[in-house]
Amino acid sequence: CLTFLGTVESDSPDKKPFFGCDENELKNVCDQAKTCKNSGDLQGLPMGTWKGAGVAGLRNSSEKARASAAAVVAGTVVSTMLLMADTSKQTPFSWKLTESTESWGPGGWSEPLEPRLAAAGGRGTRIAIASGRWSLASRHLMMRLSRAIRPSRARRQHRQFHVPAAARDSGKSSSSYMAYERTRNVATADDFKTRVTRVCGGSYRQNMRRSLQSLALYEADRCLASKYSGLRPFQRKFALLAATKDILGTLEWLNPSEREEVMYRTNSSKDDLPPDLAWRRMKVVSREIASTILPKAQELLGELGDNAISHNDFCDLLLQRMYEESTGKSTPHHKMFEFNHNNTFPVYRIYYKGISIDSNLWDPIVPENITVPDKKPENWKSVRKSNRVDESDRVGVKVVETFSLKSLALDTSPALHDPDMSDDIRRAKLHEVKEHMELLAQFEGIIPEEELIQRKKALYLALPPVPLPQNTNNRRKSPPEDSDSERQSKKKAHSSMNATKPSGTDPIEPLPQMDEEDWESVQQPEPDFPTIGAARELNEETGIDAREDLDRLEPVRLRPSDNGNNEMDNELKGRLFFRLTLVDSDFFVSGGNYTAMNGVPPDLKLRLSHEHQGFIFEPDPRDAPRQLLLHSGGKVSKALEMALQNDENLRNIAAAKNPQRDR
């Protein structure tokens, strides 16, 4: 068979279309095609004007590209036929295509092309027939074409694709014609796996780690939203972490080691993400989108006005604007910028449209086979992937008892949770539950603990709803009238409280109810989280350990105190910067070899992470910003420049290193 990739023009009645020739003529064409394959010349092919298959200007391509295209045209047995019909001159078509497994000729399977041409119509329309299967032919030929015709990198950035009429009419994006060809006749499901696979291209790179983590945490929170009411606060965090790992397991293009890497706390430490940190990162995702992405999206929407644009194209424009603001360059952003610059942007691309959440999102799948601890573990970091403490690793620590989320999905009658339930029925049910609880307390130590826990959970779910305050039918009865002496004593006590209360203060509101285990952590003074985080990152990246001496990390002044905005003095674009004065003990092992003059490497304490290749000592701080331009999108370089202008300590250090430079 002959694979035909080109454009046929029927500009005269006596000119036969290419597929109107008989078997002998077709053999002659094949012979000519074989000759063109060896010479790389396409002009000898009797098939009208060539425009390539989806790539404009094949005639102007290089000799190598034309030779590759000729090799495709003269390819051997391929049970596929792709025809690009040019109907600009409205010439009537009456072709028939005959295909046989052995040769072209009578007796083979045939199908008229007239209905397909009439239905598709328009310039550049593609007709694909392969044993009656359209989509298989398209995928097969697109694969062959992508291997044969591959323009240079510069041309790939500016290449254009022919958009079929069907794509234009349906309002689809024209950014990728080949992607449209592959999927227009295949019904694809819209779910987490499909959208994430499309955004990530079905392959994993280390740059995607935090973005995939944010996506999985966000989706896990959606799936667990209906279960949170039956879980205690710490159990929600364990459930979120377990659901996140299960969701990552649905991405088949991630191998087990990559799934484990995605759930690292940091890529340098390679420690598992603890449940409490997973919960905090999940909460940060929506705040990051609201503060860093939605304002720019609102501004871009105002500039576009009424111009119709797809969501993906809008995200690309938004990314380009963020790239230009971050780097100061006007060149197109690189492919990984979406994952490097802001790990929450893929969440925006998948779950949002414009400045609000997409209303056509798939329904979240509520997990059932997830277990969470019944009691808060003493050390959360000791909880393994199975949500249990490994006794072989930690002697003397009891195994954490767990229960499944299935137990929270009991099928109770609607009348049990009727908010309009009368007071008498509600009190009767409360009294019954209380009696059962008191009875169970007498059996502690007699029946197994697991059975007691299950019965208590069932009693908890049997509790009637709390009466609504605005429901007049459920108001409490007024207490009996007090005697005169009781009223006088209450009045004196009330006046005494008012006398001791400072004037102008508001009444003290009752604190919300919390678990007893959480009170202790709430009452502790809030630690200096930014300094702790900076010391931890410094240790993971370089091996320098200042975690036990946080006072050494001093905030750097990046702007005057009266800057008039809400940012901290050492804050820049959501990052806090600190200064650390290093001493010899930070670099060298005590009593070790300090020099390399004897041919032996010095005994350094520095332990750089794998993402760094080395370090240098820069004598003059004023030269350091230039060397940090490529670090974190230039934010570190900008912060150091601001610190040299506003931080007196750094200015003094720079002046002491090179006094002549300031003159």
Is the per-residue pLDDT at 415 higher than 60? no
pLDDT of residue 414: 47
pLDDT of residue 82: 32
pLDDT of residue 472: 44
pLDDT in tens, 353-412: 988 999 889 999 888 788 888 888 776 654 444 443 343 333 333 444 555 555 554 334
pLDDT tier at 429, thresholds 50, 70, 90: confident
pLDDT tier at 631, thresholds 50, 70, 90: confident
Is the per-residue pLDDT at 142 higher than 60? no
pLDDT tier at 85, thresholds 50, 70, 90: very low
pLDDT of residue 215: 95
**222: number of Cβ within 10 Å:** 18
pLDDT of residue 591: 65
pLDDT of residue 196: 94
Domain boundaries of the chain, sorted by first residue: 7-183, 192-357, 411-468, 529-662
- Cα dihedral sign for 603, 608, 610, 614? negative
Pairing of strands 571-572, 96-99: unpaired
Q: Is pTM beyond 0.95 here?
A: no
pLDDT of residue 390: 41
pLDDT tier at 149, thresholds 50, 70, 90: very low
Is residue 226 within 8 Å of 366, Cβ to Cβ? yes
Bridge partners for 553 per DSSP: 580
Amino acid at 572: L
Amino acid at 457: K
Q: What is the DSSP letter of 132?
A: T
Query: Could you tell me which of 541, 538, 575 has the C-alpha nearest to residue 556?
Result: 575
pLDDT of residue 612: 73
Question: What is the SS3 assignment for 521?
Answer: helix
Of 171-180, 331-340, 526-535, which has the strongest mean pLDDT?
331-340
Which helix (H) or strand (E) segment holds residue 279: the answer is: helix 275-288
Q: What whole-number distance in Å separates Cα of residue 215 and Cα of residue 378?
A: 29
Bridge partners for 98 per DSSP: 110
Is the per-residue pLDDT at 192 higher than 90? yes
- Locate 544 and state its tokens: 């320098």
Is the per-residue pLDDT at 587 higher than 60? yes
Is the per-residue pLDDT at 446 higher than 50? yes
pLDDT of residue 218: 95
Average pLDDT over residues 98-112: 33
Query: Could you tell me which of 575, 574, 571, 538 has the C-alpha nearest to residue 557?
Result: 571
Query: Could you tell me which of 350, 409, 10 has the C-alpha nearest to residue 194?
Result: 350
Is residue 456 within 8 Å of 464, Cβ to Cβ? no
Question: What is the SS3 assignment for 547?
Answer: coil
Q: In percent, how much of the chain has pLDDT > 70?
A: 51
Segment among 163-177, 197-211, 406-420, 511-525 with least mean pLDDT:
163-177
pLDDT in tens, 225-264: 888 888 888 889 999 999 999 999 999 999 999 999 999 9
Instruction: Specify the higher pLDDT residue, 70 or 7.
Output: 70
Instruction: Specify the higher pLDDT residue, 187 or 616.
Output: 616
Query: Could you tell me which of 618, 626, 606 has the C-alpha nearest to residue 653?
Result: 618
Average pLDDT, the chain: 66
CA distances (Å), origin 15, targets 81, 98, 269, 365, 638:
22, 20, 72, 61, 68
Is the per-residue pLDDT at 170 higher than 90? no
- Locate 334 and state its tokens: 């690189």
Instruction: Specify the higher pLDDT residue, 132 or 318.
Output: 318
Of 137-141, 458-462, 536-540, which has the strongest mean pLDDT?
536-540
Pairing of strands 7-8, 81-85: parallel
Is the per-residue pLDDT at 180 higher than 50? no
Amino acid at 226: S
Segment among 195-209, 490-504, 598-612 with least mean pLDDT:
490-504
- Locate 4 and state its tokens: 């035909």
Is the per-residue pLDDT at 338 higher than 80? yes
Segment among 91-105, 417-431, 533-547 with least mean pLDDT:
91-105
Q: In percent, how much of the chain has pLDDT > 90?
A: 14
pLDDT of residue 281: 92
Is the per-residue pLDDT at 433 higher than 80? yes
- Cα dihedral sign for 375, 379, 380, 385? negative
Question: 490: left (phi > 0), else alpha (psi -120 to 50), else beta?
Answer: alpha
Is the per-residue pLDDT at 219 higher than 90? yes
Of 67-81, 269-283, 585-599, 642-656, which has the strongest mean pLDDT?
269-283
